[in-house]
Amino acid sequence: MTTTERRVPTAMLALSALAIGVMAGCRKEPSGNDDGQIGAAVGEMMASLDESAQGNVTADLLPLLPALRIPDALRGSLWHRAALALFPSAEAATCGEAAFSACSAGIRTRTFSSCSLASVATLDGSVSLAFTARPLCTLAVAGDAVTRSASFSVTGLYGGMLTVTSPGGGQTLTQTAAGFEYKVGGMERTLTGAAGRTLFDITTRTTTPLAITGSSRADRVIVSGTLEVTHHLAGYGVSLTPDHLAWSASCNCATSGRLTGLVSGGARDGKSATVELTGCGEADVTIDGQTESITLDRCVAQ
């Protein structure tokens, strides 16, 4: 190389290598495709159930982070993500510091005010738990219930926003003689990119309440019911029936079992769909015989 030739900065070479590694080495997370969004909906349902069940135990509930995964669309381009990994910001994630408030008139609320999510996004809004057993906010006897409602948004450092709301009434966990009953009246997750284009709009609800046995993570199992996931942009829905979704003590979601159903509408109308849990936050989603391994939204070891 002559003295007139330019040398490539070492940092640029490292950044290029890191970007290649990012592309080659990542396990797939929920995205805008059918498989990822079905998994995201299942993960959100299980993590929210766990949060509601834990809500009557202590005000210092399990943190939302890192259970709230940040979609790739909010992390910026591949080069932005590689640069952040190579030159990490000194700013710490602060959203984990937000805890649920003490019980007040049967309500407990966790509020987020532009807190940091791993230096790549900010979180605003709140999650509330409304208990029928006032003023103690407990699930003590059969018939006691808690409804979880969410209204928050995650804004990416380079634009884009994930919005989570509960327009259908949120998620209600009711204590029964055998365990719990879980109804999802309606939850909606909408993701827009930095240019303002809607990337996905997903709603979930239970058409048949989920029946749950057990009183804690150690013995909690979802044994029946139907969860309906609707992907509005793709024009399809899938109704999933759980088959022994069993928790483990160290995870906020079930770690074994499966959900099965059929796709209704869209390009794969009438095709079978299966979500097979393979570990904490891990699942294989199979639609029409094609399987994709994904990371479930909001499911983490704790």
Cis amide prior to 242 (ω within 30 degrees)? no
pLDDT score of 266 more than 70:
yes
Sign of CA dihedral 210, 171, 147, 217: positive
- The amino acid at residue 31 is S
Indicate whether 28 belongs to any domain: no
Indicate whether 19 belongs to any domain: no
Indicate whether 52 belongs to any domain: yes
- Degrees to nearest 5, angle at CA 169 with 233 and 129: 120
Closest CA to 121 of 189, 69, 175: 69
Indicate whether 23 belongs to any domain: no
Indicate whether 97 belongs to any domain: yes
Comparing 237 with 62, which gets the higher pLDDT? Answer: 237
pLDDT in tens, 220-229: 999 999 999 9
Residues found in the chain: 302
pLDDT in tens, 64-106: 443 456 666 776 555 444 444 444 443 445 676 677 888 899 9
Tokens representing 160?
């884009």
Number of domains in the chain: 1
List Cα–Cα distances, 123 to 24, 32, 108, 153, 198, in angstroms.
29, 21, 19, 6, 19
**55: confidence class by pLDDT, cuts 50, 70, 90:** low
For 19-33, 171-185, 260-274, which range has the lowest pLDDT when averaged over its residues? Answer: 19-33
Indicate whether 300 belongs to any domain: no
Collapse the DSSP code of 283 into the 3-class scheme (helix H, G, I; strand E, B; otherwise coil) and give the result. Answer: strand
For 15-24, 67-76, 97-106, 282-291, which range has the lowest pLDDT when averaged over its residues? Answer: 15-24
Average pLDDT, integer, range 148-163: 89
**48: confidence class by pLDDT, cuts 50, 70, 90:** confident
* pLDDT at residue 7, rounded to an integer: 47
Looking at residue 88, the DSSP 8-state letter turns out to be -
Tokens representing 146?
């808690």
In whole angstroms, give the CA distance from residue 87 to residue 75: 15
In angstroms and rounded to an integer, the radius of gyration of the C-alpha atoms of the chain is: 21
- Looking at the chain, the whole-number percentage of residues with pLDDT higher than 70 is 75
Average pLDDT, integer, range 146-152: 91
* pLDDT at residue 15, rounded to an integer: 37
Indicate whether 253 belongs to any domain: yes
Indicate whether 14 belongs to any domain: no
Whether the model clears a pTM of 0.95, i.e. scores above it, the answer is no
In this structure, what are the phi and psi dihedrals at residue 287, rounded to the nearest 5 degrees? Answer: -125, 125
Kind and range of the H or E element at 293? Answer: strand 290-295
Determine the structural domain holding residue 47 and report its residue range. Answer: 34-75+91-295
In whole angstroms, give the CA distance from residue 128 to residue 94: 19
